[in-house]
Chains A and B, each alone.
Chain A
């Protein structure tokens, strides 16, 4: 890569890193895995034949790649957890504390758990909307679906998530 290309990669990296990590984490629920998957996505971008013309386009490209990598990872991981649970071993631990920060942590864990229960097609639009801050048009471009479809999915995801959170006694009203 020329100096100019390295410079442009640096720009893309700074503009997208926390966003990609956030998206990856909310798909995989695993920080270590998210960092590894983001690294893989950046490597793919860096070794692309031609760097994309703008930071925005690079961002969409990277989100798409991370989404796919995370999806495959979750599928693989899901199979592993199922196999693990077959042997009657509990994989999750719950903490009980009245401390405010722990309560917050627990709430976000429950939210993440509820989010995990959503089908991927609904979960991904909500993640891109709520954590990625992307508009419907951009989400449509990334997922290759229409804006109308994004609108429907975002709404359904919200409804389902509210119901799931109610089951965990977190009321959204």
Chain B
């Protein structure tokens, strides 16, 4: 049985493994039909090679010159050298310092510095709510009239709070004293 034309085409290109190569070679010797197919591939190959493509040597040289003169290797932007005239660089530095200082001072003003506002607001939740000043006294400074049933919420004397963990709501019913 004849191998299919596709296999013969691969055979013609030398793209068949050695086992098949030997078998097909043997078959072709005795098969005129397959011989003819191979001959047609050969003729086509010859026909395609008819053309002698002339290489224009001048053009070849000019392309080389063009590429090597025009092309500069690409450089990452962080590797690129940036040059600025000295006065402009100085002006940019001064501008940076002035703007930086201005923005820093704005940020400084925006942050709360005095504890009063905060304490005043929170004083209403205190159990000792006669006067707000009293609420900010540390527990140790209070007189010993705290009974078992009393509890105290005292705010610290400074405002440097740090956030620790997630805020949580605890239901009053869940609170069992002493447990």
Contact = CB atoms under 8 A, between A and B. Distances in A.
Contacts, number: 100
11 contacts: A1-B73, A17-B55, A18-B53, A25-B53, A43-B70, A107-B50, A108-B51, A136-B15, A151-B10, A152-B6, A159-B5
B13 A129 contact: yes
Interface of A: 1, 5-6, 9-10, 13, 17-18, 21-22, 25, 31, 35, 38-39, 42-43, 46-49, 104, 107-108, 111-112, 115, 126, 129-131, 135-136, 147, 151-152, 154-155, 158-159, 161-162, 165, 170, 172-173
A172 B40 contact: yes
Contacts of A9: 67-68
B67 A46 contact: yes
Interface of B: 5-6, 9-10, 13-15, 36, 39-41, 43-45, 47-51, 53, 55-56, 59-60, 63-64, 66-68, 70-74, 76
Given A135-B15, A154-B9, A158-B9, A172 B44 contact: yes
B45 to A, nearest CB: 6
Contact of B60 (A17, A22, A48, A162): A17
A111 B52 CA distance: 13
Given A21-B53, A48-B74, A131-B48, A43 B13 contact: no
A13 B64 contact: yes
Contact of A112 (B5, B49, B51, B56): B51
Contacts of B49: 130
A158 B41 contact: yes
B39 A173 contact: yes
Contact of B59 (A1, A35, A136): A35
Contacts of A165: 44, 47
